[in-house]
Amino acid sequence: MSEPKIVQKAPYVLDVEPGKYAWCACGLSAKQPYCDGSHKTTDIRPIIEEITEKKKVAWCGCKISGSKPMCDGSHKNL
């Protein structure tokens, strides 16, 4: 698998606390938008994102954003 699975055609908009997050890049995780290790059967790896302050984040749900792991609106072209 070299192309990610499109999970949804919209971002996951979530309130997050400061910390490190592993964003699922393959689209196979059952814990979207976060990694649960399902990528181990693929050549795609999660992206680690460090959030430094409490805020609302729009995690990419389509997995094709040009600004991964954040949504850039690419899902509108699907």
What's the CA gap between 35 and 46, in Å, rounded? 6
- In contact, 74 and 8? CB cutoff 8 Å: no
Confidence of residue 41 (pLDDT cuts 50, 70, 90): confident
Q: What is the pLDDT of residue 1?
A: 63
pTM (predicted TM-score): 0.92
Statement: residue 44 has pLDDT above 70: yes
Question: Which single residue is written with the structure tokens 């949504």?
Answer: 71
Six-digit token string for 64: 């094709």
Q: Which two tokens stand for residue 20?
A: 């490190």
Left (φ > 0), alpha (ψ -120 to 50) or beta: where does 73 sit? left
